Structure 1
Amino acid sequence: MAKDELPEPKRRNKTLSVSDALSGALDPVLKKRGFAGRDIIAQWRHIAPPPFDQTTLPDKLSWPRSNHGAEGATLYLRCAPGQALFAQHEAPAIAAAVNRYFGYVLVNDVRLSAAPFTPGSGLKAQKPYQPSQSELAKVGKATEMVEDDDLREALRTLGLALSRRSPMKNQ
């Protein structure tokens, strides 16, 4: 490369998923809590056996200080009120489920964390959206020229979803 030539700048106008955009911000926080990645937290609903998938959340992984490999961490769980005794009793089953998911002995022991349990907001039921007559008419007019029935229906569904999200509906 000549002295006059500058390296081509990195493209910054590419699309990213939310998880990719936040990974840089979340990874240092998760590493402080002992997690190598986001899998155990993000997939907890699939990893934990029922009812612990709804009543517990991973808080931290504590690794032993020996140099004998990465196996055998202690998983600390936040637990819903009234579920602590049950979760402690079923700790071997929870550890087995985590190990089964990852395919190796990641967790040797499960203990309860003193941190309070805060369940996710994803469980809240949402009201079904009912578009107004003006929105239906506007989207119908925009898609009426499309000849393919499947494509017209897909565009109509997309148009209604976008009109619901739009802050300026009357433009």
Structure 2
Amino acid sequence: MAEKPKEYKRLNRAVGVAEALTGALDPALKRRGFASRDIITYWAAMAPAPYDKVAVPDKLVWPRGERSAEGATLHLRCASSHALGLAHEGAKVAAAVNRYFGYVLVGQVRLSAEPFRPHSAKAADTEPKLTSAAEAKVSDAIDGIEDEGLKEALRVLGRGIMAKSKPSGR
């Protein structure tokens, strides 16, 4: 007999994104060795400076067999400029993580082969694309202004307005 699909309980109230997505990341995190989101969520609070800003947890690898008292190996993605320092101060980072959790979670810290990308999202294209007629209209509007700083600011403003306005079919 086929299993019934899981029925979701209605909360009958407004919820935040974090609460609504609770559990959505758990399967992916479990594949990376994390039992919960805590080490990733609170990394900035538990990691010593400067590694709270230049490194992020990648995966947690437990020794084969049962989880031992020595703890797991924490693999970190790190900015290349701080990789040597992190390699030497791995014990300091492991101690900070263990102090945060209150037990031996991390036995050693290793660098991950994956690259560190602090801003992985592609930057938005800031230069609006205009037709030649719109460019000419902006240039004509600011033609009589003598102050170069003001002229450039108005050019940027005019280009932004023309890029957002819908072309009229007149």
The alignment's TM-score, normalised by the length of structure 1, stands at 0.61
- Secondary structure at the aligned position of 1:11 is classed as coil
Aligned pairs for 1:7-156 within 5 A: 10-11=9-10, 13-67=12-66, 69=68, 72-119=71-118
Residues 68 and 40 (structure 1), Cα distance of their counterparts in 2 relative to 1, 3 Å cut = closer
* SS at 2:23 equivalent: helix
Q: Helix, strand or coil: the match of 1:45?
A: helix
Unaligned runs of 5+ in 1: 1-8, 122-171
CA RMSD for the aligned pairs? 2.0
Secondary structure, aligned partner of 1:59:
strand
C-alpha change, 1:55 and 1:20, in structure 2 (3 Å) is same
State the number of aligned residues.
113
Higher Cα Rg, which structure: 2
CA deviation map 1:33-82 (0-9, x unaligned)? 10011110011011000011111000000011122547510000000121
Provide the rounded CA distance (Å) in 1 between the counterparts of 2:33 and 2:67.
17
Which runs of 5 or more structure 2 residues have no equivalent in the other structure? 1-7, 121-170
1:52/1:10 CA distance change after superposition, 3 Å: closer
- Structure 1 SS opposite 2:116: coil
The share of aligned pairs that are identical, in percent, is 61
Cα distance, 1:119 vs. partner?
Answer: 1.6
4+ residue segments displaced more than 4 Å: 68-71
Letter in 2 for 1:92: A
